[in-house]
């Protein structure tokens, strides 16, 4: 998507050197910083410390991480090194299933390469397949989701459609376009009037710092709101629909997304407001059914809750300040699970379905065997 007037993706490979470039998202919205990753260890750090974050792009970055690992392989005992690289990457973040999915796909493909050269070639080809699929899925999610926005717009006789979103399932969370944002970008491009309520998304503020930034760069009307505002807006008819992303969806349609999503879904249900989840099928964990019981929820450093990062306008420096009493403990659960019963529909690359086993398998019948 656009940054200034230039098109960027969140990650790209250097044309001349064995290096990846990523947008280091820790610096947004105040600074636009591009970082170089040279090794699988760099990739693991970038994912763990959230230089890149969001289910799609961490999968893509991990896939390219396996390519960097292949480039560094010795001539002998290559498999040991590949397994260690895979373990290193998979240990970085537990909730988004795209990460393990991308790494396992690389391992499976790499089994076919018998020489170092062949493994490098396979790893690159697989990483490129994964990024291209991510782009393709997001574009398709955009066009399926746009139909929902258009329908609401028609019912409102063209008055702005108010969409609430939580966290960042925007282009920064994928290679490009995003999932929750793709329908928004496409509908806006096709002339629909719309406005986005952006939950700030404590503690890391992905909404306030990332979603607001990317919507602003694309010229989409938006308003940042404290996380607890959504229910009030819904009670007063100020939200027409909710669209969020997901880090892992079970085959029964339970959805893990950024902490706080569940409360939005409850408020939406209480106010009869459609609550959609947009996702590529790479975010579906076909092996599990019960989201609350089975999805591992990442717990991050309490420091992210106790301190807040922002721009000090007096000297234009980004600073971190303590917002709790010095000795207070804090808990930092990264995600929660929204049960399928609260989800109006899943917007996937193959269309929109009910959040249920029947709904999901009607779009992905070939996955039936993996139950
Ligand atoms: O912790 P993050 O920023 O990696 O969390 C991921 C998210 O941004 C979301 O939960 C998102 O809504 C779905 S994945 C793009």
Report pLDDT digits (tens) over 218-255: 999 999 999 999 999 999 999 999 999 999 999 999 99
CA of 8 to the centre of ligand 1 (A): 19
46 has pLDDT over 90: yes
Give 76's pLDDT tier (boundaries 50, 70, 90): confident
Is the pLDDT at 176 greater than 70? The verdict is yes
Place 366 in a pLDDT band, splitting at 50, 70 and 90.
very high
Answering whether pTM is above 0.95, one says yes
Residue 170 CA, closest ligand 1 atom number? 15
Encode 108-174 in three state secondary structure.
HHHCCCCCHHHHHHHHHHHHHHHHHHHHHHHHHHHHHHHHHHHHHHHHCCCCCEEEEECCCCCHHHC
Mean pLDDT for the stretch of residues 195-208 = 98
Work out the average pLDDT over 324-346.
98
Substitution site in 52, 92, 97, 167 for ligand 1 pocket (most atoms within 8 Å of beta carbon):
167
CA 53 to ligand 1: nearest atom: 4
Q: What contacts 262, CB < 8 A, 6 or more positions away? A: 336, 337, 338, 342
How many angstroms does the Cα of residue 84 sit away from the middle of ligand 1? 26
pLDDT at 75: 86
Contacts of residue 218, Cβ cutoff 8 Å, sequence gap at least 6: 1, 2, 185, 188
How much is the pLDDT for 370?
A: 63
CB 319 within 8 A of CB 309: yes
Percent of the chain with pLDDT over 70: 99
* Overall average pLDDT of the 348-370 stretch: 95
CA atoms in the 13 A half-sphere facing the CB of 220:
31
Contact 63, 126 (CB under 8 A): yes
369 is catalytic: no
Quickly state the pLDDT bin for 259 (edges 50, 70, 90). Answer: very high
Q: Would you state the pLDDT for residue 169?
A: 98
pLDDT of residue 371: 58
Q: Is the pLDDT of residue 288 over 90?
A: yes
Cis, bond preceding 29 (omega within 30 deg of 0): yes
Q: What is the pLDDT of residue 78?
A: 87
Locate the ligand 1 atom nearest the alpha carbon of residue 246 and give its number: 13
Residue 211: pLDDT band (50, 70, 90) is very high
Residue 279: is its pLDDT beyond 70? yes
The mean-pLDDT minimum among 125-129, 242-246, 365-369 falls in 365-369
Hey, whose CA ends up nearest to atom 5 of ligand 1? 54
Backbone angles phi, psi at 200, to 5 degrees: -65, -35
259 C-alpha vs ligand 1 centroid, how far in Å?
A: 9
pLDDT at 113 over 70: yes
Q: Write the CA distances from 348 to 33, 143, 193, 240, 245, integer angstroms.
A: 31, 10, 23, 20, 11
Pocket lined around ligand 1, Cβ cut-off 6 Å: 53-56, 167-169, 173, 206, 244-247, 257-258, 334
Residues 6+ apart with CB under 8 A from 268: 234, 239, 242, 274, 275, 342
Condensed to tens digits (0 to 9), the pLDDT of residues 4-35 reads: 989 999 999 999 999 999 999 999 999 999 99
Q: So what's the pLDDT on residue 284?
A: 98
pLDDT confidence bin for 368, thresholds 50/70/90? confident
- Ligand 1 pocket: which of 51, 62, 99, 173 to mutate (most atoms within 8 A of CB): 173
Query: According to the model, what pLDDT value does residue 363 have?
Result: 98
What confidence score (pLDDT) does residue 77 get? 80
- What would the mean pLDDT of 126-151 be, rounded to a whole number? 98
Helices within the chain (DSSP H only): 40-48, 55-71, 78-90, 97-110, 116-155, 182-189, 206, 212-217, 230-235, 261-270, 291-294, 303-306, 357-363
Q: Are strands 11-13 and 20-23 parallel, antiparallel or unpaired?
A: antiparallel
Q: Which of 247, 254, 285, 336 is catalytic?
A: 247
- Which pLDDT score, from 0 to 100, does residue 256 have? 98
Question: Does the pLDDT at position 364 exceed 90?
Answer: yes
Rounded to an integer, what distance in angstroms lies between the CA atom of residue 87 and that of residue 89? 5
- What pLDDT sits at residue 151? 98
**Which residue out of 245, 259, 283, 338 has the highest number of ligand 1 atoms within 8 Å of its CB and is therefore the one to mutate?**
245
Q: Ligand 1, residue 58: give the atom nearest the CA.
A: 4
């Amino acid at each position: 998507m656009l940054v200034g007037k230039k098109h960027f993706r969140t990650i790209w490979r250097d044309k001349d050197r064995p290096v990846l470039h990523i947008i280091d998202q820790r610096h947004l919205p105040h600074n636009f910083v591009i970082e170089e990753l040279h090794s699988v260890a760099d990739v693991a750090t970038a994912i763990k410390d959230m230089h890149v974050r969001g289910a799609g792009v961490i999968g893509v970055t991990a896939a390219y991480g396996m390519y960097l690992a292949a480039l560094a392989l010795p001539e002998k005992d290559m498999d040991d090194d590949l397994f260690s690289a895979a373990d290193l990457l998979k240990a970085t973040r537990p909730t988004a299933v795209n990460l393990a999915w991308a790494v396992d796909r690389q391992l499976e493909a790499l089994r076919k390469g018998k020489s170092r050269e062949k493994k490098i070639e396979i790893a690159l080809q697989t990483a490129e397949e994964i990024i291209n699929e991510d782009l393709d899925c997001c574009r398709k999610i955009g066009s399926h989701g746009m139909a929902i926005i258009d329908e609401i717009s028609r019912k409102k006789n063209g008055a702005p459609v108010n969409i609430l979103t939580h966290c960042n399932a925007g282009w920064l969370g994928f290679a490009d376009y995003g999932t929750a944002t793709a329908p928004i970008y496409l509908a806006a491009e096709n002339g629909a009037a719309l406005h986005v309520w952006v939950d700030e998304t404590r503690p890391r503020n992905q909404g306030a710092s990332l979603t607001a930034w990317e919507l602003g760069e694309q010229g989409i009307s938006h308003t940042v709101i404290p996380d607890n505002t959504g229910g009030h807006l819904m009670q007063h008819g100020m939200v027409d629909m909710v669209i969020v992303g997901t880090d892992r969806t079970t085959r029964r349609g339970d959805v893990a997304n950024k902490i706080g999503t569940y409360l939005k879904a409850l408020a939406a249900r209480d106010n009869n407001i459609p609550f959609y989840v947009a996702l590529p099928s790479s975010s579906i964990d076909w092996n599990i059914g019960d989201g609350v019981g089975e999805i591992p929820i990442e717990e991050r450093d309490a420091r992210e809750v106790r301190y807040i990062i922002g721009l000090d306008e007096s000297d234009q420096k980004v600073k971190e300040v303590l917002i709790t009493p010095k000795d207070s403990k804090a808990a930092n659960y990264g995600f929660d699970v929204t049960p399928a019963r609260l989800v109006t529909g899943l917007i996937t690359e193959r269309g929109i379905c009910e959040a249920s086993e029947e709904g999901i398998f009607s779009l992905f019948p070939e996955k039936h065997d993996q139950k």
